[in-house]
Amino acid sequence: MGTLFGTDGIRGDANRYPMDGMTAFSVGQAVAHLMKGKGTRPRIIIGRDTRISGPMLEHSLAAGIASMGGEAYLTGVLPTPGVASICRSMAANAGIVISASHNPYEDNGIKVFSGNGFKLSDAQEESIETLVLNGQLMDMTPPARDMGQVTTLEGALDMYVDFLKSCFPGDLCMKGMKIVLDTANGATFQAAPALFASLGANVDILHNRPDGTNINLSCGSQFTQDLQRHVSRRGAAIGLAFDGDGDRLIAVDETGRAITGDRSMLVCALDLKAQGRLKNDQVVSTVMSNLGFAAACRKYGVRHHASRVGDRYVVEDMKRLGAVVGGEDSGHLIFLEHHTTGDGIIAGLQLIAAMLRQNKPLSELADMMTVYPQALINVDVERKPAISTLPRVAAAIVEAEAALGHEGRVLVRYSGTQNLCRVMVEGPTPQITKKYCTQIAEAVKRETR
């Protein structure tokens, strides 16, 4: 990827380049220019999460779109997958989401969807980046008579909730089911409670009072401790924790145990397989998935493919292989029968559907996969040289791989959205995995600062 775009759009410190108003204005111009057709004005949907910097970037993007002759439609606060679904239903040319997902409020980001609801390809993102960075956009703007308009899209939340309802099987009923939701003070704080209440569930809601600075703060999919305690106290059947923009889900079972994305994906895949709806018996995860996921797939006759890290790469491989279920252990779960991108609420609906069909608690369904001991350390880095060029890191990796043999694996990669290096080790025991993960992480610290 280039200077602006990482693995999931543009990210950075809010009110600093590239997440400043001027750059957002240029991105809006570039997206509108890229989406122009002959004699038509591009229609672009803009949604955001609850960060304090969201409205500033929203208006900057909208102004850039209008200046290039595009029509900008503002949904206000709406989950990322909500913007993608509205793009499709309105036959828009593109959708833009202002969010830094699970990151703290000081960060923000810009993600761009095509009109069909899928994230842009690398080539399309590179085209936008070139337009933004070459300094020629202002020379491409049309005269005043051909400028576009900015419109508030009324009823966007209701449109999304109606779409979500259509993703839950009509022959199943969750009336009276105790469900606890943690909306991370983020983009799902209205949509998720409205949906589950409308389906008859008995809903408790945590962290649903966003103030612009508390998004993801000790809550949501990254921090499930509050949800786990509340599920246990309430005797709930399930807890659902979303991230700031609503495209991730981490579930909590009735015992108060957090369920990994891999386990949730397997539960849903096997439920579809039992119905004869798991197309090609194929599931796509990423190289970050736990070794236990691949083992469970082999055990239950599911074909497994590991893609590059990043939900859009998962989607690309799903389309290529004809899979309908895919995702990441972090909680991005994709159900192509229903949507074009990861949607935490849809993932929750599919988990609940599996529980109802199988008439089993989530704890029993999740135990069909054994999680191998895993250690993950995120190391703050000041620079990102190729891992292979760092001799101490390379030596630590070789030592770990030799010691683990066939009983484990090592994965070291830089985050595409933060200044982090992720060190992941899986092995036969927690002690061994922690030992080698710590050794590699210490080597990364010494050589990237």
The amino acid that residue 42 corresponds to is P
> What's the N-to-C CA distance of the chain in angstroms?
23
Whether residue 271 contacts residue 358, with contact meaning beta carbons closer than 8 Å, is answered with yes
Helices (H), 35-67: 54-67
The alpha carbons of the chain give a radius of gyration, in whole angstroms, of 22
Nearest to 319 by CA among 266, 367, 279, 366: 279
Residues marked as catalytic: 101
| Interior/surface letters 306-343, b for 16+ CB within 10 angstroms, e for the rest | ebebbbbbbbbbbeebebbbbbbbbbbbbbbebbbbbb
Which residue is listed with tokens 């775009």?
A: 5
Q: Which two tokens stand for residue 188?
A: 């799902």
Exposed, middle or buried, 40 (CB in 10 Å: 0-12/13-18/19+)?
Answer: exposed
CA 394 to chain centre: 30
Cβ neighbours for 439, distance < 8 A, ≥ 6 positions apart: 396, 399, 400
**Residue-wise over 421-432: b if at least 16 C-beta within 10 A, else e?**
bbbbbbbeeeeb
Residue 250 backbone phi and psi in degrees, to 5 = -120, 125
